[in-house]
Amino acid sequence: MRQALQALRAAAASGTNIMPASIEAAKAGVTTGEWGDALRSAFGEFRAPTGVSPRARQEAAGLDALRGEIERVSLKLGRRIKFLIGKPGLDGHSNGAEQIAARATDAGMDVIYDGIRFTPAEIVERAKSGVHCIGLSILSGSHVPLTLEVLAKLREAGLERVPLVVGGIIPRADAERLRAAGAAAVYTPKDFAINAMLGAIVAEIEARFDREAQPLRA
């Protein structure tokens, strides 16, 4: 298997047809993930634009009130609210995450959204920049294992004080399990009022700050 992977990497690096090497790798028992890693080592990884513009402005009802709350809490924290939106796993549905990112940006948050298909470890590493909240958008059905892994890695990194919220098509039983595991909130398609959702997130950030009596920093 090791030789098959080496041959695959060599074919990719040289620019020759990778099909024969891929077939031999499959015969040797190479997994799809190992095949993909071998190609990424030669070609790198493409990340499409997220479609979120910091200059976008949404004329949404009630947005001025939300902006006021974000400004007030940001002043209390001593810096602008920083909100990390992560898409873990293989889920390719980005519209919802982009809507949240655009609305949060327009409302005055400092938003980090790098696109889709990140690992829990990569999301937690990004959180070390000093975020006040992490929002996971998961529509792949893998919300339980992915969220639990992110929570575990946050604890390992000493970031367990940072509230984690999760959004997706999540059954009630799974939502209860995620909240019991440490998720601050779980949002589903019925929670379509984005301003209300962001307002609740701001309130959670402020409540955490008040309990800890210090800024949420890495």
User: 137 in helix, strand or coil?
Assistant: strand
Q: Is the dihedral of CA 202, 203, 204, 208 positive or negative?
A: positive
Q: Which residue has the higher pLDDT, 62 or 26?
A: 26
Domain that includes residue 12, residue range: 2-43
d(CA 159, CA 142) in angstroms, rounded, equals 22
Which CATH number is 113's domain given? 3.40.50.280
What confidence tier does 53 reach under pLDDT thresholds 50, 70, 90?
A: low
Mean local confidence (pLDDT), 112-130: 95
Pair 22, 68 in one domain:
no
CB 85 within 8 A of CB 101: yes
High-pLDDT (> 90) share of the chain, %:
77
Please provide residue 160's backbone torsions phi and psi, each rounded to the nearest 5 degrees. -65, -15
DSSP 8-state symbol, 161 = T
| Residue 217: inside a domain | no
* Residue 80: inside a domain: yes
In a domain, 53, yes or no: no
Average pLDDT over residues 12-36: 93
CA gap 88, 136 in Å, rounded: 7
What's the structural domain count of the chain?
Answer: 2
Q: 21 and 89 in one domain?
A: no
Residue-level pLDDT at 212: 83
Question: What's the pLDDT score for residue 218?
Answer: 45
Considering the domain architecture, whether residues 147 and 199 belong to the same structural domain is answered as yes
Q: Do the domain assignments include residue 133?
A: yes
Residues 69, 174, single domain; the answer is yes
Q: What's the confidence (pLDDT) of residue 62?
A: 72
Is 182 inside a domain boundary? yes
